[in-house]
Amino acid sequence: MPETIALTSRIRLARNYEDIPFPPRMGEGMAQKVLDRTMQSLNGASGLGAAHMVRMAELSQSAREELVEQHRISPELSRKDDGALVELMQGSVYVMVNEEDHLRIQAILPGLSLGEALDLANRTDDALEKGGYAFDDRYGYLTACPTNAGTGMRASVMLHLPALTLLSQIGPIIRTVSRIGLTVRGIYGEGSQANGNMYQLSNQVTLGRNESEIVHALDEAALQVMQREREARASMLDRNALGTEDRLLRSYGILCNARRMTLREFMQRISDLRLAMDLGFVEVDPKTLDDLMLEAQPAAILRREGKPLSDEEQNAKRADLVRAALEAVG
Q: What residues make contact with its own copies under the rule CB under 8 A? A: 242-243, 245-246, 249-250, 252-260, 312, 316, 319
Minimum gap (Å) between residue 257 Cβ and its own copies: 3
Minimum gap (Å) between residue 5 Cβ and its own copies: 23
Minimum gap (Å) between residue 177 Cβ and its own copies: 35
Q: Select 28 or 312, whichever has its Cβ closest to its own copies.
A: 312
Element of type H or E holding 119: helix 114-128
Distance, CA of 244 to CA of 260 (rounded, Å): 24
Residues 229/230/233/235 CA torsion (nearest 10 deg): -100
Q: Select 221 or 322, whichever has its Cβ closest to its own copies.
A: 322
Q: Select 26 or 249, whichever has its Cβ closest to its own copies.
A: 249
Q: Is 153 helix (H, G, I), strand (E, B) or coil?
A: strand
Q: Select 34 or 263, whichever has its Cβ closest to its own copies.
A: 263
Q: Select 141 or 252, whichever has its Cβ closest to its own copies.
A: 252
Distance, CA of 5 to CA of 247 (rounded, Å): 19
Triad 69, 203, 230: Cα angle to 5°: 80
Q: Is 111 helix (H, G, I), strand (E, B) or coil?
A: coil
Minimum gap (Å) between residue 54 Cβ and its own copies: 36
Q: 47-58 burial by CB neighbour count: b if 16+ within 10 A, else e? A: ebeebebbbbee
Minimum gap (Å) between residue 266 Cβ and its own copies: 13
Distance, CA of 153 to CA of 59 (rounded, Å): 28
Q: Select 54 or 256, whichever has its Cβ closest to its own copies.
A: 256
Contact of 112 with 6, CB cutoff 8 Å: yes
Minimum gap (Å) between residue 322 Cβ and its own copies: 11
Q: Select 259 or 307, whichever has its Cβ closest to its own copies.
A: 259
- Write the burial class of residue 136 (CB in 10 Å: 0-12 exposed, 13-18 middle, 19+ buried): exposed
Contact of 131 with 95, CB cutoff 8 Å: no
Minimum gap (Å) between residue 243 Cβ and its own copies: 7
Strand partners, 141: 135, 150
Q: Select 1 or 241, whichever has its Cβ closest to its own copies.
A: 241
Q: Select 214 or 273, whichever has its Cβ closest to its own copies.
A: 273
Minimum gap (Å) between residue 308 Cβ and its own copies: 18
Minimum gap (Å) between residue 184 Cβ and its own copies: 32
DSSP characters over 38-55? HHHHHHH-SSS-PPEEEE
Mention every residue, 6+ apart, whose C-beta is less than 8 A from residue 115: 215, 219
Measured CA distances, 228 to 26, 74, 244, 269, 277 (Å): 47, 30, 18, 22, 18
